[in-house]
Structure 1
Amino acid sequence: MIEAIKQQLKDQLEQHFNVQGIVVEEPKKGLADLAIPLFAYAKLWKVSPMVVYKQFEEILTNNIVIEKIEFTNGFLNIYLNRGPLANKILSMIHEQKDAYGNQELGIGQTVAMDYSSPNIAKSFGVGHLRSTVIGNALKNIYKKMGYKVVSINHLGDWGTQFGKMIVAYQKWGNEAAVTKNPIAEMQKLYVRFHDEVAIDPTLEQQARDVFKALEENDETYTKLWTWFKDESMKEFEEMYELLGVEFDYNTGESFYNDKMDAVVEELEQKHLLKIDDGATIVDLGEDLPPALIKRTDGATLYMTRDVAALLYRHNTYQTNHVLYVVGNEQILHFKQLKAITDLMGYNFNVDHINFGLVLIDGKKMSTRGGKFKRLEDVINQAIQGAKEAIESKNPNLKNQDEVAKAVGIGAIIFNDLKNEKHLDIDFNLENMLKFEGQTGPYLQYSSVRIASILRDNTLDINDIDASYFKEDDYFEIIKLLGQFPHIISKAMENNAPNLIARYIISLAQGFNSFYGKHRINVEETKHLNANLLFVESIRTVINEGLRILGIQSLNEM
């Protein structure tokens, strides 16, 4: 709403004066509602800022959204007609509820999103968290903007590591132990393989031979591989259920095994392949290193598989846009993928949503050395920490376990999403579980505080004195509420869930500041109803922001 007003004023002035680049700002709290700096046009037209002000004022003065206009220190300050505007924003939120902020930009368009993508036969680690929660939030953002989203879990279910796993299982594995505790046992076998390689390097060649046989559909190895995959998926599904994440398709790397020959053939037909030291490559020019398509032994590579996957997704889902939510270390890979498909003549709209590492005590985690933090363990620690905090604050709370689960998992998700995604994040449970500051529990508690107010009162939407909304403390927050649709739009435009996270933190901080200064449960009925509509709107938007981020809102805690 506020962004629409700013755009309307900008368009009105630019069209009348036939200029571009007029800026409509939101000054700091306590100043005007909006402001237009005049210095650039004073310089352009070789007049004083006051002359520009008079010309702009003449055009804007009859605009019904404006109450008054003033000149201050080279700025045209605008005071909005607060009562009707505030009433319109709050009424819209009250009527639309969680549909507030829904937009139609993406109607008729399909976006495919590739995210999470853990490796089969390895525990779901903290390192997989970022792709999972960033991807899930982006899915919700794009859906909010009207897009059809196809969510894909591109499982790491193929590669030479399965040769290693099969060799390790056949040498040291125990069927009963694996059946009882599959992932943990597979993890031990994987670590042991790398320990034993240091003693017996021939194990590496054995693993390569086994994987080659697996590629040729060896029955015994295929049966073991399928078993590893099925057992891994059971654990992954438990994690996804805890995190509230669902996928349309769990199609791993192996799904594209029968689709890669066609890619190589097409590259050959389009004269894009070259032989370099026995390997088959695509030359990508001066800006990028060549992309490997086949090794010297003729084996196809990860890049070939990703080209096949991209073509399949475009043809199957009729995508307008494909997002890959994958770490910073793959930046070059996705530049090459885009370059190859461009050379093939497709010009797909592809974005790599890159993100930094999750650090524990400032260090990256490693599967190979056994220094690996399972997400399940971390989630359980977070839930236990949340439960202890709840027991100390509200020992009589019903459903403590369910609330602790929502708070613990919400804390982990918000700690990730509040950060700019390309940065590394340090994983500190103690900090993320705090009920103050920029945390998930702080947001959930703010929403619960409003829920308590609303439970004790009944809002009569037809008996409101909207004049209260003109006051600064109300209107600053109402302006913020009016920005929610724009924030959703910007979050999509920049593929940045942190914009929503920061926004709802600002909203919660605004509410808590207001709550500390003003009494909500006032005696006068029209004032009370105004307050109830005001706080109800804040809660609606906070809760919808939390939902988009993949965090559960609560009624009690």
Structure 2
Amino acid sequence: MSYKHQVAEKIADALAQQGVENYPKETVYGMLETPPNPAMGDIAFPCFQLAKALRKAPPMIAAELAEKISGDPLRESTAVGPYINFFLDQAAVAKQVIGTILAQGSAYGDSHIGQGRKVPIDLSSPNIAKPFSMGHLRSTVIGNAIANIMEKQGYQPVRINHLGDWGTQFGKLIVAYRLWGDEAKVKAEPIKELLTLYVRFHDEAKDNPSLEDQGREWFKKLEDGDEEALHLWKWFRDESLKEFMKIYDLMNVSFDSTNGEAFYNDKMDRVVTLLEEKGLLTESDGALVVSLDEYDMPPSLIKKSDGATLYATRDLAAALYRHESYDFAKAVYVVGNEQRLHFQQLYKVLEKMGYAWARDMHHVPFGMMLKDGKKMSTRKGKVVLLEEVLSQAIADVQKVIEEKNPSLANKEEVARQVGVGAVIFHDLKNYRLNDINFSLEEMLTFEGETGPYVQYTHARACSLLRRGNFQPASAPLAEGALDSKEAWAVITLLNGFPEVIERAADNFDPSQIGKYVIDLAQSFNKFYANVRILAEEEDIKASRLQLVAAVVAVLKEGLRLLGLAAPEEM
């Protein structure tokens, strides 16, 4: 139990003794604040809400309650106006926090709340035959981090790459290949050549609208199983996946399933039949829809007037398949913010079909990746390729290593870890709904709120442990070794790591951990700059190195949850 939970329990007990109802430990915990200035205390409790129940002024309530709350882990409880400020027993807290982290290592912050239940996570999902652009980065790294966080909470994540491998665009690509394609060029550089053909199709279609009709015709042939269309489609898909896997391997992202849109082709008739049986389908201009008027939403289009099925039909089939396959605790879709209405409609249709588990499905939206403040567009050829960005990031880090530390072991591996990590961290330190402007220069700086800064801090701390010949089975903390305000700031942050993971999981928000590791790195660097760690008496040095070792363990685990490596030397 964290110290905030212990304090919340003491406050709840004191209120219960005064006959105040509706303030259990969980409610009190949610009211606790962190004072803006550490000199004011470690935890604060505002008493405004209690005025009505106790029929007293908040300052009076604070003064009376403060006298009733004491004992471990508190050193002092003080009323300041309408607040009670709590000061923790720093020596006892330091011993408990550091001891726990060193004993548990990477398991610190683990939870069993998930009880091993499965959580399918729909992430990445690029379109085949198109390049893996910076625009696809967000779903990939946000989804992978959420999977890591859910696993930390005791769930069993199922990473699903729902590939965009079906739709009219493949009819267009087949037309483009038949008109202008060169087999040798496609084999040599599949994604680059297929993108060139795709962009050319849209350029030519401006002056020749009949190309759009041809594209639709060839997609219909594909749907009907035409041999040539299927052969080309499968070739485009296989070549694309090979290229994608190079990028996934570079980012250390793997999948449990690559069932894309095409996988559900034979599963959609069942959805239409179920909707008919439940009396949910109505006709609208020749198309079949599910009305969502009662939710003030447009109808969900299930089948076009020409009989073609749509995204909604396919996603309903996918939802049924996933529930039947995984019996999930929750299902997560990491898909851009522009699809918000689509998922709202999807869940409401499932609810109308009588599936209570639809309430356990979560759309996790995110903002756009911008270039010079504008959205990237594959169709217009205005795209920044992720593979090129990762390669450039790695090359730039290699240059820095050659300049600063040319004798570093495993230079290539460290350059990959730092270069790729910089790109991932630049995304995940931001709240996912915010748009992000692409800037390689900003990503790669070793100062400020960046991945390289956090990784370098971890490496610096590892260096301290090596130089100090740190032994894990250290003696108890020496009196006064960690009395500084800098040490206490680090200990307070370390103590809060499990709660940060919990918040990140509850809100599907990896940026909670991104911000946390930045704060911990900054706090540790202040400790490093202001407190002598190695040049001290042996017991003092050993105690301070225990704190350093705890920082190493938590930084490494925080970075791992985000999908980053933590090099021990840089």
Q: What does 1:303-382 correspond to in 2, within 5 Å?
A: 303-347=312-356, 348=358, 349-382=360-393
Stretch moving more, 399-408 or 144-153? 399-408
Deviation for aligned residue 1:51:
4.3
SS at match of 2:293: coil
CA RMSD of aligned residues (A): 1.6
Deviation for aligned residue 1:421:
0.5
**Any conservation in 2 of the 1:66–1:78 contact (CA below 8 Å)?**
yes
Give the one of 112, 126, 132 matched to 1:118: 126
| Structure 1 residue identity aligned to 2:512 | L
Structure 2 residue 282 is the aligned partner of structure 1 residue 269: no
**Any conservation in 2 of the 1:66–1:79 contact (CA below 8 Å)?**
yes
Hey, what's the Cα distance between the residues in 2 that align with 1:53 and 1:276? 63
**Any conservation in 2 of the 1:447–1:542 contact (CA below 8 Å)?**
yes
Hey, what's the Cα distance between the residues in 1 that align with 2:210 and 2:43? 72
Hey, what's the Cα distance between the residues in 1 that align with 2:411 and 2:80? 55
Which residue in the other structure is 2:41 paired with?
A: 32
Hey, what's the Cα distance between the residues in 1 that align with 2:324 and 2:224? 27
Stretch moving more, 129-138 or 382-391? 382-391
**Any conservation in 1 of the 2:62–2:80 contact (CA below 8 Å)?**
no
Hey, what's the Cα distance between the residues in 2 that align with 1:162 and 1:47? 71
Hey, what's the Cα distance between the residues in 1 that align with 2:523 and 2:137? 30
Hey, what's the Cα distance between the residues in 1 that align with 2:326 and 2:147? 16
SS at match of 1:356: coil
Structure 1 residues 361, 51: CA separation in 2 closer, same or farther (over 3 Å shift)? closer
Deviation for aligned residue 1:83:
1.6
Hey, what's the Cα distance between the residues in 1 that align with 2:4 and 2:45? 14
Work out the number of aligned pairs and report it.
Answer: 556
Which residue in the other structure is 2:8 paired with?
A: 7
**Any conservation in 2 of the 1:379–1:408 contact (CA below 8 Å)?**
yes
Which residue in the other structure is 1:444 paired with?
A: 455
Deviations 1:32-72 (A, max 9, x none): 222223455456534455643453234323x2212222333
Hey, what's the Cα distance between the residues in 1 that align with 2:221 and 2:82? 77
| Structure 2 residue identity aligned to 1:450 | A
Hey, what's the Cα distance between the residues in 1 that align with 2:89 and 2:476? 21
Structure 2 residue 298 is the aligned partner of structure 1 residue 289: yes
Structure 1 residues 412, 101: CA separation in 2 closer, same or farther (over 3 Å shift)? same
**Any conservation in 2 of the 1:110–1:318 contact (CA below 8 Å)?**
yes
Structure 1 residues 199, 450: CA separation in 2 closer, same or farther (over 3 Å shift)? same
| Structure 2 residue identity aligned to 1:545 | G
Hey, what's the Cα distance between the residues in 1 that align with 2:48 and 2:347? 44
Deviation for aligned residue 1:230:
0.4
Structure 2 residue 400 is the aligned partner of structure 1 residue 389: yes
Hey, what's the Cα distance between the residues in 2 that align with 1:342 and 1:43? 41
Stretch moving more, 21-30 or 275-284? 21-30
Hey, what's the Cα distance between the residues in 2 that align with 1:481 and 1:172? 60
Give the one of 229, 241, 249 matched to 1:233: 241
Give the one of 208, 217, 222 matched to 2:225: 217
| Bigger RCO of structures 1 and 2 (CA < 8 A, at least 6 apart) | 1
Which residue in the other structure is 2:475 paired with?
A: 462
| Structure 2 residue identity aligned to 1:245 | V
**Any conservation in 2 of the 1:466–1:530 contact (CA below 8 Å)?**
no
Give the one of 258, 261, 281 matched to 1:253: 261
SS at match of 2:323: helix
Structure 2 residue 485 is the aligned partner of structure 1 residue 485: no
Structure 2 residue 112 is the aligned partner of structure 1 residue 99: no
| Structure 2 residue identity aligned to 1:35 | A
Which residue in the other structure is 1:16 paired with?
A: 17
Hey, what's the Cα distance between the residues in 2 that align with 1:201 and 1:277? 25
> Which ranges in structure 2 are unaligned for 5 or more consecutive residues?
none
Stretch moving more, 98-107 or 203-212? 203-212
Deviations 1:382-411 (A, max 9, x none): 112222222332233232222111111111
Deviations 1:399-437 (A, max 9, x none): 222211111111111110011111110011111111111
| Structure 1 residue identity aligned to 2:441 | E
| Structure 1 residue identity aligned to 2:190 | P
Q: TM-score, normalised by structure 1?
A: 0.97
Which residue in the other structure is 1:87 paired with?
A: 95
Which residue in the other structure is 1:139 paired with?
A: 147
Q: TM-score, normalised by structure 2?
A: 0.94
